[in-house]
Structure 1
Amino acid sequence: MAMSTEDTLRLTVAAIMQLTRERQTDVGAGTGLSQLQISRKQSGRTSWTLGDVDALSAHWGIPVLDLLAGPTRATAELPADRIATAGTQTAVPLPGTPPGPPPAAPHGTERTAAPAPTAEAPSPAPTEPPPPLPLPPAASSTEPGQTSPQAPAARAVPHRPAPAGPLTDRIRTAVEHRLADANGDIDAARATLIKHAIPDVMTLFAASRVGGRYEHTEFPPTQDILQKRSQKGADQIWEGRPKWRSTEIHQAARAGHIHLGVTTLDINGAYLAALKTWLPIGRLTHTETGAHDPKRAGVHRITPPDWTLTDLPSPLGARQEPGPLWITEPTLRLLLRCARQGLCDAPVIHESWTSGASEGLLEKMRRALADTRKTAIETGDDLTLDYIKAMYSKFVSTIGESTANREIRRPDWMHIIRSQAFANLWMKANKAHTAGLTVVEMSGTDELHIAGEWQSVFAQGRDLSQVKPKYTYTLGKDEA
């Protein structure tokens, strides 16, 4: 089901408030509403009326029809003199975050729970469209050091430096609010953050698309090849998931002919890195030209080339069945790349379902998640790390056909992102192979078994561009 007009309006209001750096009290003063009324309308507890829309239109100088057309159109029509050009951006919290909690206390200090807000002193904070999950109880705003007689003192909360940028601020704010709600109980905050990861990441995605060059389609018609055959069944798309081990090396090891030290490398944030991929923007259209257009993306039915290399896995992954099959854009591009490098023949393309494409549809969101992840690693913030992982992994797993995510249905995107993760892993295996290392095994999205001085090829660490060793083992018997 597509987003309703009222939900779209709530997202538009939040986007404009972010550009103008207004608080709910500012918008209320300009529209004749109280901060509490603005908060209730933005949280979905009450509805925006046509009279409210007229008032918002007059307040921001945006025509009514443009205001109702969505955040991209509305922000484009916002008068230039209303856009804030200096100062600190006011963070718009992710859905479900309570208005105005106190900031996290520095490490080693004690923060106490805040007293309940009063009607005379509301805590204004912009809100986003409500998530499908129930909103948590509201937390109030107070100065650090104040104590509520009804609430016990909170546990000390580790200091979380605020990464620069509005999207990263949203993530940081969500973590701080959930931690405040839990009175510093990290386990309780983690459970709540993970529970709300799907609506939070969808709001983050929507915010990242405000002002974007392209308007993507959220609910295009689903082609038969992308529809599941049963509730627990699969569709016809092959993602290229690898499950490969070098037969020759393992046979030689069992026979005692080789003695090989192997390191298992873990690829960091495989699905997060895979968000940078060519995605179809609109509805898919059918072609039978047999040619690949690099400006388009989708799924393709091909006859794959023979793969004769025994020391490097096939880009098609663990596929064993012969004959034509449906593959995704990253797998096709990888096969074409292998053909250009002389590793195999080019695949034969029989038909395609594609749309005009962009490699940047998810890039702003990916960068915000990656930057916040990097800061969390540097500061030892495991809570934020778990939250980020839940957001990007659940984004990938629910954007297809999932009852857990009602805001988008793009099974083509889901398959493409997963395939991009597998393609990225293959390219790392090929990089090691080209450098003279021995590829022993490759499986899943993030596991690569290498023999040789892998540190000369890959940087070690937890960044997305780095790898980390999981364990080492030895193949073969000592010849002594």
Structure 2
Amino acid sequence: MPSAPRRGAPAYASGTLVEQITGRVRDVLAEHAGDLDTAQAVLVKAAIPDVMALMKSSRVGGRYEHSEFPPTAEILRKKSQKGADEIWEGRPKWRNTALVKAARNGERFEVTALDMNAAYLSALKCHLPIGQLREDTTGVHDPKKAGVHLITPADWHHPDLPNPLGNRMEPGELWVTESTLRLLLDCARKGLAETPVIHRSLVSGASEALLEKLRRALAETRKTALAEGDEVTVAYVKAMYSKFVSTIGESSANREIRRPDWMHIIRAKAFANLWMKAHKAHTAGLKVVEISGTDELHVVGDWQTVFPQGRDLNQVKQKDVYVLGGER
């Protein structure tokens, strides 16, 4: 039996977790006589219970016992069955208006559309609250806690960079997640904006490692499957992490956990990761043309000097190359 990781050491995925995923794929393929399409459909359909079982396995021996059904704060409750709650995730939808205007005036730009790989899988590495969220009115961010925060964000004065708050147009106070607040605080440390004002927080003690074993197991399995051309396992892994994120809130598709705070924090982390990619490109001298969703970044310039190309988590894919502007 492998020894337990020392206290404070990174929680790396064990071979047992990876074997749990690959063994499941082998069993389903055997049950369906190697029919790849049928096996993939079966695995994708079972992704929610399978990823929850994997999560439970990943938490065995963990330092923290997380709450699966803590009381849900009012701001995290949907106003109707198909409605939304009060949390702003910072989803980006931005175009560089100055560059677009220059293109309309005849300047020509060759733009590369880049696709970030497995954005929600990468976003599982984020600060998550462990227990029930409790009110904090100190107005001070405690890095050892996580949750949601009512803030007044600072103004953004960088027309060549997207606002890290996403495409929100309304001024004034808003509820944001831990991921967005940490990004805004990081921007303040970089001198890009003033520090946001925190009016009220709902937080719990936090850990960045709650989903780390799960994330690493999925990432390692995905990497091996890509190298071997095993698209069945790639699709299965994608279904597990994407459905995990989409159903851990108030979804009736997942009865094993209800953590809308986790769902919002993870989704916001994916948006924050995309913004950080845009900032990295900008800092390296590329022109940022557009960012949108969780994974789309359009740039002008030699992007391969900034980002490695490929399908791994630390790489990006070239989605398209197009020309903006030109002859009038």
Task: Confirm or deny a common fold (TM above 0.5).
Answer: yes
The equivalent position to 2:264 in structure 1, one of 408, 412, 415, is 415
SS in 2 for 1:475: strand
Alignment correspondent of 2:35: 185
Alignment correspondent of 2:231: 382
SS in 2 for 1:342: coil
Alignment correspondent of 1:457: 306
- Contact 2:70–2:259 (CA under 8 A) maintained in structure 1: yes
Alignment correspondent of 1:337: 186
Alignment correspondent of 1:399: 248
- Contact 2:245–2:263 (CA under 8 A) maintained in structure 1: yes
Q: Kindly state the Cα deviation for residue 478 of structure 1 after the two structures are TM-superposed.
A: 3.7
Pick closer, same or farther for the CA change 1:85–1:164 going to 2, 3 Å.
closer
2:116 counterpart letter in structure 1: I
Q: Kindly state the Cα deviation for residue 164 of structure 1 after the two structures are TM-superposed.
A: 7.2
1:376 counterpart letter in structure 2: A
Within 1, Cα distance between the matches of 2:88 and 2:121?
A: 20
Which TM-score applies when normalising by structure 1? 0.66
Find out whether 1:216 has 2:59 as its counterpart. no
Alignment correspondent of 2:112: 263
Within 2, Cα distance between the matches of 1:381 and 1:346?
A: 46
Alignment correspondent of 2:172: 323
Alignment correspondent of 1:301: 150
Q: Kindly state the Cα deviation for residue 248 of structure 1 after the two structures are TM-superposed.
A: 0.7
2:302 counterpart letter in structure 1: E
- Contact 2:94–2:167 (CA under 8 A) maintained in structure 1: yes
SS in 2 for 1:241: coil
Within 2, Cα distance between the matches of 1:365 and 1:333?
A: 23
Moved over 4 A (4+): none
Within 2, Cα distance between the matches of 1:435 and 1:85?
A: 43
SS in 2 for 1:266: strand
2:102 counterpart letter in structure 1: A
SS in 1 for 2:319: strand
Name structure 2 gaps, 5 residues minimum: 4-12
Alignment correspondent of 2:100: 250
Pick closer, same or farther for the CA change 1:296–1:164 going to 2, 3 Å.
closer
SS in 1 for 2:290: strand
Pick closer, same or farther for the CA change 1:390–1:217 going to 2, 3 Å.
same
Alignment correspondent of 1:474: 323
Within 2, Cα distance between the matches of 1:279 and 1:391?
A: 19
- Contact 2:281–2:306 (CA under 8 A) maintained in structure 1: yes
Alignment correspondent of 2:290: 441
Find out whether 1:431 has 2:275 as its counterpart. no
Pick closer, same or farther for the CA change 1:381–1:347 going to 2, 3 Å.
same
Which TM-score applies when normalising by structure 2? 0.96
Alignment correspondent of 2:162: 313
RMSD (Å), alpha carbons: 1.2
Ranked by relative contact order (alpha carbons within 8 Å, sequence separation 6 or more), the top structure is 2
Deviations 1:43-69 (A, max 9, x none): xxxxxxxxxxxxxxxxxxxxxxxxxxx
Alignment correspondent of 1:232: 82
- Contact 2:14–2:213 (CA under 8 A) maintained in structure 1: no
1:191 counterpart letter in structure 2: A
- Contact 2:14–2:217 (CA under 8 A) maintained in structure 1: no
Within 2, Cα distance between the matches of 1:164 and 1:363?
A: 11
Within 2, Cα distance between the matches of 1:211 and 1:264?
A: 43
SS in 2 for 1:302: strand
Within 2, Cα distance between the matches of 1:171 and 1:233?
A: 34
SS in 1 for 2:164: coil
State the identity as a percent.
67
Deviations 1:145-180 (A, max 9, x none): xxxxxxxxxxxxxxxxxx970000000010011111
Within 1, Cα distance between the matches of 2:182 and 2:46?
A: 35
Name the count of aligned residue pairs.
319
Within 2, Cα distance between the matches of 1:377 and 1:191?
A: 18
Find out whether 1:165 has 2:15 as its counterpart. yes
Find out whether 1:280 has 2:139 as its counterpart. no
- Contact 2:18–2:221 (CA under 8 A) maintained in structure 1: yes
Alignment correspondent of 1:160: none
